[in-house]
Structure 1
Amino acid sequence: MGLQAPLWRAVTVFRVAALVYATILMLAGFRDFTRPWLGWAVLAAMTAWTAVTGVRYHDPAGRSRAWLAADLAVTLACLLVSNLVVSAERLASGGPTLPMAWVAGAVLVWALRGGRRAGGIAALILGAADLFLRGEITSATANGTVLLLLAGGVMGYVSRLTDDAETRMQRAVELDAATRERERLARGIHDSVLQVLALVQRRGTELGGEAAELGRLAGEQEAVLRSLVGVQDEAAAAGSADLRLLLGRYGSPRVTVAMPATPVLLPAAVAAEVAAAAGSALDNVAVHCGPETRVWVLVEKEPDAVTVSVRDDGPGIAPGRLAEAAASGRLGVAQSIQGRIRDLGGAVAITGGPGEGTEVELRVPLPR
C-alpha cells in the first residue's frame, strides 16, 4: 500500500472529526440561521461526501486529479452556501461558516497528492471564498487562510518525504534481492565449477606432461572466475575491499587458494596490508623452498576476525632460524609479515619444523 496510505487515512479521520465539530456548532446555533433547513442539508451533504471520499481515497486509483477537483468544488460549494444560511452581519463579525475546519480536508488531499504548491493553491482558493463571504479582510479571514496555507505546506512536505523514503526503501529491497541472488549464484559456482577447476588443476599438475598444461589453464580460469564472482555492488564496497580478490591473484598451479563463497570485506587499507603480508609469506616459500613445493592459502571469516593461513609442504624451518635471521638484519618475516599484522592489531603464528613444512597464520580482527 505504500508509506502514504496512513496519511490518506489520517485525512479521513480529520474530516470525520471536523464534521463532528461542525455538527456540534450547528446544534448550538441553528436557531439563529436564516434557513435552518438548508444548513441541515449542507451538513448531510458534508457527511455523505466524507464517506464517499473516505472510500474513494482508500484506493490509490481513486486519487485522480478529477476527483481532487471535485473534492475542492464540493468543499467550495459547502463554504459558499454559508452566505444563504448564516446572516451577513454574523459572518462580517467573524462568526463561523457552516463547514468550519472541514474545508481543510480538501487542502490536505491536494497537498498530499500534488505537494506543497498544490496545497497552497487550494488554500488560497478557499481563503478567497471566505473573504468573499465576509466582504472584508478580518482577523478570522486572515487567520483561516494562514492556517490553511500552513496545513497545505506541512502536508506537502511530509508527502515528499514519504515519497523519497518509499523510493529509497524500494531501492534497498531491490539491492538486497540482487545481493542475495548474487550470493546464491556464487555459492553454486563455488560448490561446483570452482571445485572442478581446482581438481583439474591439481590432477593435471600431478600427472605432468600435457595434463600439466591443462591444469595450468584450469588454474588460470579458476582465478578469473573467482574475480568475477567477487565483484561487489558499489554501495556495499564503498571504502572497502574484498580480500578474496586481492588474494586470488596469487593462485597458480603451485599455489591453491581456498576462500569463502561470499565477500570478505575489510577496509581497503587493511585488506591491502593483509594481502601484502600473505604475499611476503609466499615470497619466502619461493626463495627458501624448491620449485616443486606446493602452497595452500586458506581464508576464513569468523564473526570477529579474518584468518589467512599460508601452508607449504617444503623442508620446514629449523628451530631458532627466525631469530637468527632477525639478528643478522634479515627482517622479511619480522617486518613484512609480523610487523604489518601487528600494526593492524592482529597476530601471526608460525608453526612447523624440519621436514614438516611451514604454516603462517595471519589473524586480523574485524573493525567494529
Structure 2
Amino acid sequence: MSVELPLWRAITGYRILTLVYTLCQVALSYRRYEHPLGAVAYMGALTVWMALTWRRTTSPERCTRQFLIVDLAFAVGGILLTSLVDSHARIMGGAPTLPSIWTAGAVLGFAIKGGWRWAAVASSVVAVANLVERQQLARDTLRNVVLVWVAGVAIGYVVEVARASERTLARALQIEAATRERERLARDIHDSVLQVLAMVQRRGTAIGGEAAELGRMAGEQEAALRTLVAGGLVRPAGAAAVAPYVPGPATGAHDAVGSAVAPARSVPPPAADGSCDVRALLAPFAGAGVTFSEPGAPVELPAAAAAELAAAVSAALDNVRVHAGDGAHAWILVEDEPHAVLVTVRDDGPGIPEGRLADAEREGRLGVALSIRGRLRDLGGTAAWVSVPGQGTEVELTVPKGAAPEGGRRGKSRS
C-alpha cells in the first residue's frame, strides 16, 4: 500500500468533519449575521460541492490540479464573502470566517498532491484572503495565517520525503530480487559448468599432448567465467532456469569425494504433502570415502528445500575433495530437530586457514559464498564453518522446517 493512501483518507475525513463543524457554527450564529441568507447560500453551495466531490480526495488519481484549484476557490470565496454577510464589529472582534477551519483541508490537499511548494502557494493565497477580509494585521489573524502556512508546508515536505523513501525502497527491492536471481544462476553455474571446466583442465594436463592444450583453454574459460559471475554480470532476467544439482549414486571413495561432477539423479518423488525425505537425497553420497549417519525415521522437508540442501552438501563435499585431497575422509550427519533439520559435513583434512573463505570469495570462487551460504540463506537457514588447522573442517547446515527456496524467512549466514 502506498504511504500516501492513509493521508488521502485522513484529509477526506477531515473535510467531512470540518464541514459538519462549520454548518453547526453558522447555524448557531445565524441571527448574528447582517445578511444571514448570504451565509446560508454559501454554506448550501459548499455542502453541494462536498457532496459531489468528497471522493476526489480519496486517491491521488482522482484529486486533480483543476479540482484543487476550484476547491481552494471555494475556501477563498467564503473568506472574502464573510465581510459582506457579517458585521464589521463581529469581524474585528475575531468572528470566524464562513468556511472557518474547512479552509485548511483545501491547503492540505495541495500539500499532499504537490508537496511543500504547492502548499506554500495555497497557504499564501489563503493568507492574502484573510488579510483582505480583516483589513488589518490583527494578532489572531496573523496566528491563524502562520499556523495554516506552517502546517501545509510541513505536511507537504513530509509527503515529499515519504515519496522519496518509497521510491528508494522499491528500487532496493528490485535490486535485491535481481541479486538473488543472479546468485541462484551463479550457484547453478558453479555446480555444473565451472566444475566441468576444472575437470577438463586437470584431466587434460594429466593426459598431455593435444589434451593438454584443451585443458589449458578450459582453464582460461573457467577463470573468465568465474570473473564474470563474481562481477555480477550474469543476467538475472530472461535466463533459462537450471535445475538444482542433486548427487548421483556413489560407488566408492572416488565417486563420493574425488569426482568433480557426479552423475545426475532425479529427485525422489515428493509425498502427498509435497515433502521429501532428506535421507534419500544424501544417502547416495555414502561410500568408502564418506560415512553417512542418519536417524531411523524420515527427515522431511519441502521437496525444493531438500534438493537445495543436498546441493549445498554436494558443494561442501567438493570442497573436501579440492582442499583436503582424495585421501581425506568425510562424515555426513543428519539430525532431525523439532523446528529444523541440521546436516553436518566434517572431514579430517588440514583445515581452513584463517581468512581463506573471504579470500576465496574475492577471487570469484563461489563454492562457499553461493553454493553453500547463498542456498542456506534463501531457505531461511544458516551455514557455519568450524575449522582448526591440522584437525579438519566442520560445516553445519541448518534449515528450518517448512522453508522453501526464495521464501519469506531469511536467516543470517555465519562464517
**TM-score category, normalised to shorter length:** 0.5 to 0.7
The Cα of 1:189 is off from its aligned counterpart by: 2.4
Could you tell me how far apart the structure 1 residues matched to 2:320 and 2:112 are? Answer: 54
The Cα of 1:87 is off from its aligned counterpart by: 1.9
The Cα of 1:91 is off from its aligned counterpart by: 0.9
The Cα of 1:232 is off from its aligned counterpart by: 4.9
Tell me which amino acid in the other structure corresponds to 2:324.
Answer: R
Could you tell me how far apart the structure 2 residues matched to 1:92 and 1:64 are? Answer: 36
Could you tell me how far apart the structure 1 residues matched to 2:32 and 2:149 are? Answer: 31
**1:92 corresponds to 2:92:** yes
Could you tell me how far apart the structure 2 residues matched to 1:38 and 1:129 are? Answer: 18
The Cα of 1:166 is off from its aligned counterpart by: 1.2
The Cα of 1:138 is off from its aligned counterpart by: 1.8
The Cα of 1:172 is off from its aligned counterpart by: 0.9
Counterparts in 2 of 1:173 and 1:340: CA distance versus 1, 3 Å: closer
The Cα of 1:52 is off from its aligned counterpart by: 4.2
Residue 173 of structure 1 aligns to a residue whose secondary structure is: helix
Could you tell me how far apart the structure 1 residues matched to 2:5 and 2:320 are? Answer: 49
Could you tell me how far apart the structure 1 residues matched to 2:119 and 2:21 are? Answer: 23
Cα deviation 1:340-360 (Å, max 9, x = unaligned): 99xxx9642426xxxxxxxx5
The Cα of 1:102 is off from its aligned counterpart by: 0.4
Residue 62 of structure 1 aligns to a residue whose secondary structure is: coil
Kept in 2, the 8 Å contact 1:309–1:362? The answer is no
Q: Identity over the aligned pairs, expressed in percent? A: 41
The 4+ residue runs of structure 1 with deviation greater than 4 A are 255-258, 298-301, 306-309, 336-341, 362-368
Counterparts in 2 of 1:127 and 1:213: CA distance versus 1, 3 Å: same
Counterparts in 2 of 1:180 and 1:196: CA distance versus 1, 3 Å: same
Aligned to 1:11: 11
350, 359, 365: which one pairs with 2:390?
Answer: 350
Q: Structure 2: which 5+ residue stretches go unaligned?
A: 234-257, 262-313, 329-349, 358-384, 397-411
The Cα of 1:202 is off from its aligned counterpart by: 4.5
Kept in 1, the 8 Å contact 2:11–2:57? The answer is no
Cα deviation 1:205-229 (Å, max 9, x = unaligned): 4544312321232133123212211
The structure carrying a bigger helix percent of its residues is 1
Residue 91 of structure 1 aligns to a residue whose secondary structure is: helix
Could you tell me how far apart the structure 2 residues matched to 1:313 and 1:82 are? Answer: 95
Counterparts in 2 of 1:216 and 1:57: CA distance versus 1, 3 Å: same
**1:61 corresponds to 2:61:** yes
Aligned to 1:217: 217
Residue 167 of structure 2 aligns to a residue whose secondary structure is: helix
**1:310 corresponds to 2:352:** no
The Cα of 1:169 is off from its aligned counterpart by: 1.1
Tell me which amino acid in the other structure corresponds to 1:348.
Answer: V
Counterparts in 2 of 1:9 and 1:202: CA distance versus 1, 3 Å: same
Could you tell me how far apart the structure 2 residues matched to 1:55 and 1:217 are? Answer: 69
The Cα of 1:8 is off from its aligned counterpart by: 1.9
Count of aligned positions: 276
Kept in 1, the 8 Å contact 2:131–2:137? The answer is yes
Larger radius of gyration: 1
Kept in 1, the 8 Å contact 2:19–2:47? The answer is yes
Could you tell me how far apart the structure 1 residues matched to 2:322 and 2:86 are? Answer: 89
Kept in 1, the 8 Å contact 2:182–2:232? The answer is no
The Cα of 1:121 is off from its aligned counterpart by: 2.2
Could you tell me how far apart the structure 2 residues matched to 1:338 and 1:46 are? Answer: 76
Could you tell me how far apart the structure 1 residues matched to 2:5 and 2:354 are? Answer: 59
Q: TM-score, normalised by structure 2?
A: 0.57
Aligned to 1:197: 197
Cα RMSD, aligned residues only:
3.8
Cα deviation 1:267-304 (Å, max 9, x = unaligned): xxxxxxxxxxxxxxxxxxxxxxxxxxxxxxx9759xxx
Q: TM-score, normalised by structure 1?
A: 0.63
